[in-house]
Structure 1
Amino acid sequence: MLEQAARARGWLRIAGVDEVGRGPLCGPVVAAAVILDPDRIPVGLDDSKKLSPARRAALEAEIKASAEWCVAEASVAEIDALNILQASHLAMCRAIAGLLRAPDHVLVDGNRLPKALAISAEAVVRGDGRSVSIAAASILAKEARDRLMVDLAQQYPGYGWEKNAGYPTPDHRKALLNLGVTPVHRRSFKPIHNILCQGHSVSS
């Protein structure tokens, strides 16, 4: 386990960090940072995409009850201004900064570390399947973003965000053509940019 290896090198407070929402055409990107209690690690932690909704919800409650955690986001405006990678890293840095006490070491899902991260860290490719802390962070981030997209679906009905979470599914793409682009769509993403160039948009 990566956490055990990090503790063997002398770090005690090890945070796992992951983000959810790079691929959707709308909504913020959400990140979570989690420091698990080594004596209270929830059973069954795994990549959030491999878990059923019911299992994710149960694990989210266990993580929040037993670990130190923070969920943060970067807005659609920040995604359009910075690009999705940099906005993801911004959300990660906000989640780490939001922990009550700073970690000694951070395990970041992916192959790049946020440039603004000023503490000891390592990038872990496919980390949500290799680190329980990253897996926990992926669960919190996904649950938080899914709830947020359900709320946005009520504000902008017809796009199916309560089911597709803003990803470019056929029903979402069809709704874009029929209903237009909303204020929470990412204008820097090519499918949205192309539609706007054709003059299809809706007001807030």
Structure 2
Amino acid sequence: MDELARACIVHLPAFDITTPARLANLIAQCANETGGFTTFTENLNYRAERLVAIWPRHFSPAVAALCVGKPVEIASRAYGGRMGNAPWPSTDGYDFRGRGMLQLTGRDNYAAADRRLGIGLAYHPDMAAQPAISLLIACDFWRAGEVNAACDRGDLREARRITNGGAIGLDHVLDLHAELMKVLA
């Protein structure tokens, strides 16, 4: 945790995440994506029904039943052939699965972050799950996605869309943000 605390001191100001609204939203988004900062690698432990519900184009009921308990196959099928990942049976989908505070996913996103940060992430994707590096990646994504502007406008729905690609978890993020603002403001 000392390393993460030091990373906060360095990276939050460097990426201009300095107002209560910006900080509250970053913490809320990251807490939502990491299960309260407990896991920094995507949980691929799905039941067959859930695989079909989340990724219907990638999992028929029969294929989903065969994939249960096989995280490499689940991620490789779910993320294969998109986001710069080679199609299944390549393991790119697993190699570049969601990691970090904002669940960086896909070869293209890892490569883009690596181009901006120059930390070797495209060749060592497991680095994204290290908390201090994960914070750096999250802050970089925050700036690249112009999330500060959404926070400054009070547009928390847009901040969620940018960080998550949709509204999954929006209510949880809004609740966390409100609680954090009570402390930070």
- Asked which structure has the greater CA Rg, the reply is 1
TM-score (structure 1 length as normaliser): 0.27
Q: Name the structure, 1 or 2, with higher relative contact order (CA <8 Å, separation 6+).
A: 1
TM-score (structure 2 length as normaliser): 0.29
**Which has more helix, going by share of residues?**
2
**Which has more strand, going by share of residues?**
1
